């Protein structure tokens, strides 16, 4: 064993440096050390991921409580977990929903800007010149809807990311007397939205599989099973969010249900406004 750490120069007191954590190993002498270290890191990461996914799926609020209690090494950090989940989910959704394969009703095409203006659709914050330009963009996208769909889909992850601090702020306002730090509410929001994304992906995959199985008469039972699973997931999602709030904030059922309902209404109104703004932005920039 060397007297000092090769990485930071700190005097060693064991097999690992107490300052930077690097093990006292000589990788240049034996390739098996390097290979063993690789699989050790993969195994460690794999165990953290499996432990984290198990908790986030089957134990509402557990990860947030673990973070609050300082149990950081056992699980994937909340922000990293959300970003990886979001990346994988939207990547898979883009594969499942092949926008180029979406069929468009030809009878709804060939709209003109004049027809858009005659529909009395107007944005009050636009002046006359900007409204004319906007109508032309709407007419163009009405005749090329896949461009708008691609634009909106590409911006959806950013919108959902922007809604995270807003959801955390709602939790802060409704639980202001509980004296929680804002970061705690943000962690709850990250874990809740991670579960939301995983549920959306699962429902989408089951729905797509069900559509395929509908063409296979001998597999009707499997289609029915998938449809039943989708129904269960749709019903479980709001219950999961409720149980998360109950477990983390430790209030009575009546208060929790009332606050959950108010937060649910407020958040969905804000989310609807955000996606309407996203569609308008998509029209302007597509």
Summarised one tens digit per residue, pLDDT across range 9-21 is 788 877 778 777 6
Question: How much is the pLDDT for 35?
Answer: 52
Q: What is the overall mean pLDDT for the chain? A: 78
Q: Please give the pLDDT value at position 50.
A: 87
Q: What pLDDT is recorded for position 63?
A: 93
Mean of the pLDDT values across residues 27-33?
52
Q: Are 213 and 219 in contact (CB under 8 A)?
A: yes
pTM of whole model > 0.85? no
What per-residue string of b and e applies to 239-270 under the rule 16 or more CB within 10 Å gives b?
Answer: ebbbbbbbebbebeeeebeebbeebeeebeee
Which among 99, 100, 91 has a CA at the least distance from the CA of 201?
A: 91
pLDDT tops 90 at residue 206: no
Tokens matching residue 249: 């904030």
Q: What average pLDDT does the segment 159-172 reach?
A: 93
Kindly indicate the confidence band of residue 235, based on its pLDDT and cuts at 50, 70 and 90.
Answer: very high
Residue where the block lists tokens 């993969």: 42
Stronger pLDDT, 219 or 131, i.e. the higher one: 219
The answer to whether 171 and 189 are in contact (CB under 8 A) is yes
| Cβ contact 197:89 at 8 Å | yes
Residue 16, strand partner residues: 23
Residue 125: pLDDT band (50, 70, 90) is low
**DSSP string for 52-82:** HHHHHHHSTTHHHHHHHTT--TTS--HHHHH
Cα-flanking dihedrals φ and ψ of residue 11, to 5°?
A: -60, 130
Q: Please report which confidence band the pLDDT of residue 4 belongs to, taking 50, 70 and 90 as the band edges.
A: confident
């Amino acid at each position: 064993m060397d007297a000092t750490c090769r990485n930071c120069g700190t005097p060693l007191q064991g097999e690992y440096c107490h300052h930077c954590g690097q093990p006292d190993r000589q990788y240049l002498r034996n390739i098996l050390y390097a290979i063993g270290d690789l699989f050790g890191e993969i195994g460690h990461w794999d165990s953290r991921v499996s432990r984290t996914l198990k908790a986030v799926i089957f134990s509402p609020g557990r990860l947030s409580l673990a973070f609050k209690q300082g149990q950081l090494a056992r699980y994937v950090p909340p922000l990293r977990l959300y970003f990886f989940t979001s990346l994988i989910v939207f990547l898979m959704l883009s594969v499942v929903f092949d926008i180029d394969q979406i069929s468009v009703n030809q009878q709804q095409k060939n709209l003109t800007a004049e027809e858009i203006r005659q529909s009395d659709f107007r944005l009050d914050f636009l002046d006359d010149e900007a409204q004319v330009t906007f109508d032309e963009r709407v007419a163009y996208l009405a005749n090329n809807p896949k461009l708008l769909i691609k634009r909106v889909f590409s911006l959806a992850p950013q919108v959902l990311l922007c809604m995270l601090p807003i959801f955390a702020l709602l939790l802060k306002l409704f639980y202001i007397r509980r004296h929680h730090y804002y970061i705690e509410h943000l962690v709850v929001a990250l874990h809740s939205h991670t579960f939301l994304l995983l549920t959306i992906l699962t429902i989408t995959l089951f729905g797509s599989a069900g559509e395929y199985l509908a063409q296979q008469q001998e597999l009707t039972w499997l289609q029915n099973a998938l449809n039943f699973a989708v129904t269960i997931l749709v019903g479980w999602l709001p219950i999961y969010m409720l149980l998360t709030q109950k477990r983390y904030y430790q209030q009575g059922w009546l208060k929790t249900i009332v606050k959950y309902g108010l937060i649910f209404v407020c958040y969905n109104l804000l989310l609807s406004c955000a996606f309407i703004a996203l569609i308008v932005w998509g029209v302007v920039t597509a």
